[in-house]
Amino acid sequence: MKKSIHINCDLGEGGKYDEDLMSLISACNIACGGHAGNLDTMHRTVRHAMEHGVEIGAHPSYPDKENFGRKSIKMSPEDLKLSIESQVLSLKQIVESEGGKLTHIKPHGALYNDAAKNENIARAIIESLELLEENCRLYVPPNSKISQLAMGKFDLFYEAFADRNYNQDFSLVSRSQNDALITKKELVFEHVFSVVRDKKILCINGAKIDCKADTFCVHSDTPSSLEILQFLHKKFAEQGIRIQNS
């Protein structure tokens, strides 16, 4: 069993616990203007990440602050590529101006979900990132279109969600459903530990599916996210497992 695990968190989205969460995670994915974030929040979040030695990633989305990037938007491939490139480049320049380095990229919300199953959207994301000529990790869901298309082009980090329930086809339970989120800290630990120990995700219908995960996401806007991360540190330490960068 692993001696350490990697945890990432979406930050710079206007949450009030960002700085407290930063000390408990391995990597942050910073909103860069698509669904949330502006120049001030990007600068501030980058500084906090550097203070804590946390990996800094870009978190581009559909350009849709009204719906927080959680609804699919019809865009031409060229417009989508330009939007993603602009968002990532904006954060990259800020990171470098602060003396840091962009380490990874993780699409947000509906864009992330769409890229998992839609080959055209997955290809648009990949092509936009290739234009940046940046040697970054790409966070992807296992068994997804984007992971298949990006293989050999990027260093892939397969991601599982600590605080989200899964369907048996590896899709996330829709946020429109009451049981989409896992908010009890004990259940979040059990969810993650099942993947760490058994390489299995327990789905909402009780089925177990194979899962390879290089990183686990805890959302900053999940209720009790701070309490959840503190509990994960405690429980994994009891198993002789540390959370990287802790």
3-state SS class at 195: helix
Q: What is the pLDDT of residue 57?
A: 98
Residue 205 contacts residue 168 (beta carbons within 8 Å): yes
**Average pLDDT of the chain, as a whole number:** 95
Handedness of CA 159, 196, 56, 180 (dihedral sign): positive
Element (H, E) at 29: strand 27-31
Q: How confident is the model at residue 223 (pLDDT cuts 50, 70, 90)?
A: confident
For the stretch 54-97, pLDDT in tens is 999 999 999 999 999 999 999 999 999 999 999 999 999 999 99
For the stretch 103-136, pLDDT in tens is 999 999 999 999 999 999 999 999 999 988 767 9
Element (H, E) at 216: strand 215-217
Residue 124 contacts residue 84 (beta carbons within 8 Å): yes
Question: What is the CATH topology of the domain spanning 4-161+214-219?
Answer: TIM Barrel (3.20.20)
For the stretch 168-195, pLDDT in tens is 998 999 999 999 999 999 999 999 999 9
Residue 95 contacts residue 48 (beta carbons within 8 Å): no
DSSP 8-state symbol, 3: S
Q: Which residues contact 116 (CB under 8 A, 6 or more apart)?
A: 122, 140, 141, 144, 145, 146, 170, 171
Q: What is the pLDDT of residue 246?
A: 60
| Dist CA 14 CA 161 (whole Å) | 20
The domain locations on the chain are 4-161+214-219
State if pTM tops 0.75.
yes
Residue 208 contacts residue 202 (beta carbons within 8 Å): yes
